[in-house]
Amino acid sequence: MDWKIRRLKMVEEQLKSRGIDDERVLKAMGKVKRHEFVEEAFKIQAYNDIALPIGYGQTISQPYTVAKMTCALMVEEGMKVLEIGTGSGYQAAVLAEMGAEVYSIERIQPLYFRALKVLNKLRYFNVKLRLGDGTLGWPEEAPFDRILITAGGPKVPEPLLDQLKVGGILIMPVGKKKREQNLIRIRKERGKIFEEDLGPVKFVDLIGVYGWEN
């Protein structure tokens, strides 16, 4: 199986052809071994144009969705990025590949351990993982240049807004109904929050103190 060929085909046919034009995002997604982040039975589908199950009712997002969110985040090398919802660890690896210093939180223990293992195996040493409720953020490491929430909640958790740097960007799927959200981009300026709607998305639930109830 030539994974590299499949991966580069994914970049051409699913990302470039749909208007993803940030070369750094395309390069990173052309490098990260997505097939390592899914279970054996799904490896063959790893570069398909779909989200895939990762167990415990959770998913690894469709490659296009990862690309769209990563572009919207406007990450630069050396930035401190907080991700909520490590899941498989794939999105964290894409951010790490772009040179970010990544902090990622997952609430489901077996997913946390699996992501820890694969990120270590692939030598992504610029990713730090934590097990817990990501809606509370990672106060000891705040403030963050960028915050990415990869699960959908009813509103942006207050602690995450507090932990975002002035001048920082936060991306989150927000919706009053479960599994129906709009991707929201927030820019924090001195004393002001600017909000943009980047269109409809469908994410699994953000569960926690500042998310949905379990």
Interface contacts to ligand SAM, rule CB under 6 A:
58-61, 84-85, 87-88, 90-91, 105-108, 111, 133-135, 150-151, 203-204, 206-208, 211
Two tokens, residue 167 = 């001048």
Cβ 205 to ligand SAM, closest distance in Å?
Answer: 6
Cβ 214 to ligand SAM, closest distance in Å?
Answer: 9
Q: Is-catalytic flag, 61?
A: yes
* Closest CB to ligand SAM among residues 113, 194: 113
Name the nearest CA neighbour of 102 among 114, 113, 89, 112. 89
Dist CA 11 CA 26 (whole Å): 7
187 alpha carbon, distance to own chain's centre:
18
Cβ 31 to ligand SAM, closest distance in Å?
Answer: 15
* Closest CB to ligand SAM among residues 186, 201: 201
* Closest CB to ligand SAM among residues 184, 189: 184
* Closest CB to ligand SAM among residues 168, 208: 208
Two tokens, residue 85 = 């919802």
Dist CA 134 CA 105 (whole Å): 5
Dist CA 46 CA 101 (whole Å): 25
Three-state DSSP state, 122: coil
Taking CA atoms, 195 is separated from 36, 46, 83, in Å, by: 35, 33, 19
Dist CA 141 CA 124 (whole Å): 19
Cβ 69 to ligand SAM, closest distance in Å?
Answer: 9
Active site residues per annotation? 61
